[in-house]
Amino acid sequence: MQRPTEFVRDQVSTVRETVASAAAEATQVSGSVGSHVGEFIRSQRGAAQVSLRELARTAGVSNPYLSQVERGLRKPSAEILAQIARGLQISAETLYEQAGLLDRRSGTPGTVAAIRADEALSERHRAVLLELYETYAREHAATVQRTPDPDHPTQEDTA
């Protein structure tokens, strides 16, 4: 029979292991999100042909901080992401999605990407188009779900 002190010691050890495991998982998840948004920022900076120093200046953050964000060592706040988005001349929403702060829009990813990439559109026009597109995509999905399929009658149709 196990003594109460041994039982408690075993339970404490088990809890410590569980907490350590959960902490390690959380670090990996937050690190992957941070590196993902960092990689995205780096690729957008490269596509815009903007140096790290120039983006840091236009975004109002320090060079070392921006470098750490790009390498996934720092997880920027929503405010910092908005500043970086302004510096890259992309929507803050795009960075929020990459950082996992905002759910991805519904619809075809290619269409959403095309709207975001169109340089002829202002940021405001992109946001309006994306909102309209998302609304149409949602309405279409709802209509498709409500439309009865004649090849597959429901129980109500057969009763």
Per-residue pLDDT tens over the stretch 5-58: 887 788 778 878 877 776 666 555 444 445 688 998 998 888 889 999 999 999
User: Residue 86: which domain range?
Assistant: 30-104
Q: What is the pLDDT of residues 76-101, one digit of tens each?
A: 998 999 999 999 888 887 788 888 88
Q: Exposed, middle or buried, 7 (CB in 10 Å: 0-12/13-18/19+)? A: exposed
CA dihedral 129, 38, 104, 30 (to 10 degrees): -160
pLDDT of residue 33: 46
Based on the domain organization, do 70 and 135 belong to the same domain? no
How many domains is the chain partitioned into structurally? 2
How high is the mean pLDDT of the chain?
79
Looking at residue 11, its pLDDT comes to 79
Q: Is the pLDDT confidence value at 156 over 60?
A: no
Q: Quick one: 78 and 131 in the same domain?
A: no
pLDDT at residue 127, as a whole number: 77
The answer to whether 60 and 79 have CB atoms below 8 angstroms apart is: no
Position 71 scores a pLDDT of 92
Q: What is the pLDDT of residue 63?
A: 94
What is the band of 159 on the pLDDT scale with cuts at 50, 70, 90? low
121 against 154, higher pLDDT = 121
**Average pLDDT rounded to a whole number, residues 109-125:** 79
88 & 135 share domain: no
Asked, for residue 1, whether it belongs to a domain, the answer is no
Answer yes or no: is pLDDT of 158 > 80: no
Q: Are 134 and 106 in contact (CB under 8 A)?
A: yes
Same domain, 118 and 97: no
Domain C-terminal end among 88, 104, 120 = 104
Is residue 13 one of the residues assigned to a domain? no
Do the beta carbons of residue 118 and residue 126 sit within 8 Å? yes
